[in-house]
Structure 1
Amino acid sequence: MAKLANELGTEKIGKLLIKQAVPATIGILVMSLNMIVDTIFVGQWIGVLAIAAITVVLPIAFLISSIGMGIGIGGSSIISRALGADKTEKAFLTFGNQICLTLILAIIFVLLGNFFSVPILNLFGAKGDILPIASDYFAVVIYGVPFLAFAMMGNPVIRAEGKPKFAMYAMMIPAVLNIILDVIFIKFFDWGMTGAGLATSISYASCGLYILYFFLSSKSELKILPKNFKLDFKIVREIIALGGVTIVRQGAISVLMIVLNYSLFTYGGEISISIFGIINRVMMFALSPVLGVSQGFLPVAGFNIGANKNERVKEIIKKSIYFGSILGTVIFIGIVIFKEQIIWVFTNDETLLSETPNAMLIVFLVTPIVTMQLIGSAYFQAAGKAFPALILTLLKQGIFLIPLAYILPKYYGVAGVWWSFPIADILSTIITVLVLRDEVKKNLKVVSG
């Protein structure tokens, strides 16, 4: 652990941020590219409704897997601070509890997903001609979700160990595999949505198995020890309190998807859901660098908070926001210039080609400022302050975007859905900046001496 302490506690912040953020960005980028290619393949080889079906199903899969993500992020916050305070045993116990919690909860939710698949799909917007296609996809994808949940749990833990490159590899392997299998199952075997689902499920399994391999090998400083599987109430409570932020955020995103798909179907039909499916994939890919900065921020901030190095914590906050804002600006300029060309990659449908570019431009309108919100909520997670982290995380998707996406379309039709995104971004960013500024003034005072 000494090498990790030397790097996270003493190395220059700019260098540390790059070292942590670049692999995270590449990993997210490749995983997002995987989703984009998946959408391109089904859109070109199966049809427009297939895009709508994937748009409906993936939020369900990610809702279940977000249990693992929440446990991973909550536990990695504890692990980072424990390592910073030289409490190795607590780090090991936390890791064992994370594994146990993830597997139990993921299997329970997969069983529920199997028994209640049709009502769940209906709830998330699989209506009309979308339902049979979505059912074929969901019936296969659901079996890969426990592997995805384990991978989502393990990835932030690997970063907390100070091994961002291995976390990157864990996200790249399934992305590349899924693209290859998509071509084989959809194009050559002509298995349709079942083939697309099978490719996705196998790629999830490869990711989970790679994470398992990492922790069983000599590369990991955290070991899988059966004695640590016994749940410790105090550790579990802290994991859930911090990880609950991520789980509730994904829950809010799932509710948001229900509201969005309802509004889109009501005011624009199946085609509007397909439009959002394309925009959502582009958003995941384009925002990867910004999300990478926030992911890189977490282990560095958590370690230095645990080590009481307030000056370094303030510096990582400032530099993360600075770099993320520059990236956000570049992303927005790229969307403005290439919006038509981006949509053409997904489909040759005339309606989608004419309606999607302007809608996408509106959704991305305030991208340059979103890093402020991401770093604000990430700071409170890194500091182990669950309640403010929860509130700030819910600001955009839960508190602002859900009601806006429901109310605005009643007056402005489908355009109201698109405008709800930048409005929610502006409101949530203003509040986050004010709260973070107050926190820095009160609790990150630097004692001279």
Structure 2
Amino acid sequence: MAVSSKELGSLDIKKLLIKQSVPASIGILFMSINILIDTIFVGQWIGSLAIAAVSVVLPITFLISSLGMALGIGGSSIISRALGAEDKEKALLTFGNQLMMTILLAVLSVVVGLFYSDEVLLLFGANGAIKEPAKEFFMPVLYGVPFLALSMMGNTVIRAEGKPKFAMMAMIIPAFSNIILDIIFIKFLNLGMFGAALATSISYFMCFAFILWFFIYRSELKPQLKHFLLQQKVVSEISSLGFVTFARQGVVAILSIILNHTLFTYGGEDSVAIYGIISRMLMFALFPILGVTQGFLPIAGYNYGAKLYARVNESITTSIKWAAFLATIIFVVILVFASSIVTIFTTDAKIIAETPNALRIIFAASPIIAIQLIGAAYFQAAGKAIPALLLTLTKQGFFLIPLVLVLPNYYGIFGVWISFPIADILATLVTAFFLRREMKRELV
């Protein structure tokens, strides 16, 4: 086993978390910048309606590609623990099965998307004037989704090997290529929504090409043909842990459907565009917290597999402290600069007037979300699929969706915005209870 993966069980936790989290954070930052600038270009060069269209389409493509992320995170939990227990054969078998499962499911999903594109777009909220630009963006992006799914799967395996810098590069490359191609296709060639979609699909392929190069030339996992043959036990273990991630993305997709329809009902296309801006800011602003969470996963998984429970305990407390500190800084920045942020995306006066207050409300509970994210991630890293699933679904599934369905009936659009911090607070309280109990009972 390479020295890089052994370090997960020997380096000082604080140094190790920095080593794992900083590259992950930078990678997520560039991915978020990519999506953010994409939205800015679309909003400034095509119009606010285009932002609404992208907001409808991206949850669909992310749902399909999240199959790769789910299989990647589920398999990577097994790989981290297998490397910790020095079981190289299990790690190789898991990786081979991950790859085959991702290819099969991604291609099947794309075929379904092609045959039922109108129905899918309508389901996700392509109402009124949003429908045509959404369809124009959806079709080219759909062809690139298998490459995105394979990239998401491969990226988590790279981290499980203890090579976060390569995982970071895999996220930076498509960000740069997408931004450059956006400028060429939208600004200079005037290809509109089709150009934005084409740039996105090509960037997905660029990411896949880099990850393929890594596994051929730099990875310590060199599977043979026998490792690619699907085995029921391995598939079941990957699926049970991966289902946690896919269930979360599935719930996010359901939330997107409910949000888009609710926003359109109470505020029309403008409200869908407003949330389109806010959702991009959520992805962008929370990048360091998500980076800490990604950095935490292989550390916790490896040390849990090696039965070094004191190190697992330390990694939990350290990760929560750092992530909470970063989240507080982000909240203050959003609070102060909300109005300036919104003007970057659009020149539409109504959207500029209404978005800042909604942005502040949605970010109101962000200082405490670290507990919920790290807590759910621990149970996944430890291979405890059921509690990981339940805690992962707590915010969006158990709290946010019911709140979004109920509160707008009484408070209109404000009811949508206030649902987010309420769900954050409730989910954090639930996760804190179960995480504290686990640390006292198991990690001693």
TM-score w.r.t. the length of structure 2 is 0.99
- Equivalent residue, structure 1, for 2:3: 3
CA distance in 1, matches of 2:346, 2:361: 20
- Equivalent residue, structure 1, for 2:119: 119
Counterparts of 1:272-283 in structure 2 under 5 Å? 272-283=271-282
- Equivalent residue, structure 2, for 1:136: 136
CA contact 2:2–2:220 (8 Å) conserved in 1: no
Structure 2 segments unaligned to the other structure (5+ residues): none
- Equivalent residue, structure 2, for 1:383: 382
Residue 224 of structure 1 deviates from its aligned partner by 4.1
CA distance in 1, matches of 2:57, 2:398: 24
Taking only aligned residues, the RMSD between alpha carbons, in angstroms, comes to 0.7
- Equivalent residue, structure 1, for 2:94: 94
SS in 1 for 2:128: coil
Residue 213 of structure 1 deviates from its aligned partner by 1.0
Residue 230 of structure 1 deviates from its aligned partner by 0.3
Instruction: Provide, for residues 365-421 of structure 1, a one-character-per-residue CA deviation record: whole Å limited to 9, x for no partner.
Output: 010000100000000000000000000000011111111111110100001000000
CA distance in 2, matches of 1:32, 1:180: 15
CA distance in 2, matches of 1:223, 1:133: 44
CA distance in 2, matches of 1:208, 1:410: 44
- Equivalent residue, structure 1, for 2:182: 182
- Equivalent residue, structure 2, for 1:33: 33
CA contact 1:53–1:133 (8 Å) conserved in 2: yes
CA contact 1:67–1:102 (8 Å) conserved in 2: yes
CA contact 1:215–1:224 (8 Å) conserved in 2: no
Counterparts of 1:299-378 in structure 2 under 5 Å? 299-378=298-377
CA distance in 2, matches of 1:94, 1:323: 32
Structure 1 segments unaligned to the other structure (5+ residues): none
Instruction: Provide, for residues 278-319 of structure 1, a one-character-per-residue CA deviation record: whole Å limited to 9, x for no partner.
Output: 000011000000000000000000000000001101000000
CA distance in 2, matches of 1:95, 1:121: 33
- Equivalent residue, structure 1, for 2:241: 242
SS in 1 for 2:364: coil
CA distance in 2, matches of 1:83, 1:229: 19
CA distance in 2, matches of 1:343, 1:125: 23
CA distance in 2, matches of 1:149, 1:24: 18
Instruction: Provide, for residues 95-137 of structure 1, a one-character-per-residue CA deviation record: whole Å limited to 9, x for no partner.
Output: 0000000000000000000000000000000010000000000
CA distance in 2, matches of 1:132, 1:76: 39
- Equivalent residue, structure 2, for 1:24: 24
- Equivalent residue, structure 2, for 1:153: 153
Instruction: Provide, for residues 61-85 of structure 1, a one-character-per-residue CA deviation record: whole Å limited to 9, x for no partner.
Output: 0000000000000000000000000
CA distance in 2, matches of 1:238, 1:342: 44
Residue 90 of structure 1 deviates from its aligned partner by 0.3
Instruction: Provide, for residues 18-51 of structure 1, a one-character-per-residue CA deviation record: whole Å limited to 9, x for no partner.
Output: 0000000000010010001000001000011000
CA distance in 1, matches of 2:387, 2:316: 16
CA distance in 2, matches of 1:227, 1:211: 21
Q: Which amino acid aligns with 2:139?
A: A
CA distance in 2, matches of 1:282, 1:85: 40
CA contact 1:216–1:224 (8 Å) conserved in 2: no
Runs of 4+ more than 3 Å apart: none
SS in 2 for 1:129: helix
CA contact 1:363–1:422 (8 Å) conserved in 2: yes
CA distance in 2, matches of 1:85, 1:304: 9
Q: Is residue 60 of structure 2 the alignment partner of residue 75 of structure 1?
A: no
- Equivalent residue, structure 2, for 1:56: 56
Q: Which amino acid aligns with 2:423?
A: A
Instruction: Provide, for residues 421-447 of structure 1, a one-character-per-residue CA deviation record: whole Å limited to 9, x for no partner.
Output: 0000000000000000011111112xx
Residue 4 of structure 1 deviates from its aligned partner by 2.9
Residue 348 of structure 1 deviates from its aligned partner by 1.1
Q: Which amino acid aligns with 1:228?
A: H
CA distance in 2, matches of 1:227, 1:168: 30
Number of positions where the alignment pairs a residue of Structure 1 with one of Structure 2: 444
CA distance in 2, matches of 1:357, 1:224: 50
Instruction: Provide, for residues 156-206 of structure 1, a one-character-per-residue CA deviation record: whole Å limited to 9, x for no partner.
Output: 100000000000000000010000000000000000000000000000111
With over 3 angstroms needed to count, the CA separation of the structure-2 counterparts of 1:224 and 1:6, relative to structure 1, is: closer
- Equivalent residue, structure 2, for 1:192: 192
SS in 1 for 2:388: helix
Q: Which amino acid aligns with 1:431?
A: V
Q: Which amino acid aligns with 2:282?
A: M
Identity %: 61
Q: Is residue 286 of structure 2 the alignment partner of residue 284 of structure 1?
A: no
CA distance in 1, matches of 2:78, 2:232: 14
- Equivalent residue, structure 1, for 2:433: 434
TM-score w.r.t. the length of structure 1 is 0.98
CA contact 1:107–1:146 (8 Å) conserved in 2: yes
Q: Which amino acid aligns with 2:167?
A: A
SS in 1 for 2:219: coil
Residue 2 of structure 1 deviates from its aligned partner by 4.5
SS in 2 for 1:308: coil
CA contact 1:66–1:149 (8 Å) conserved in 2: yes
CA distance in 2, matches of 1:339, 1:400: 26
CA distance in 2, matches of 1:74, 1:379: 13
Q: Which amino acid aligns with 1:356?
A: T
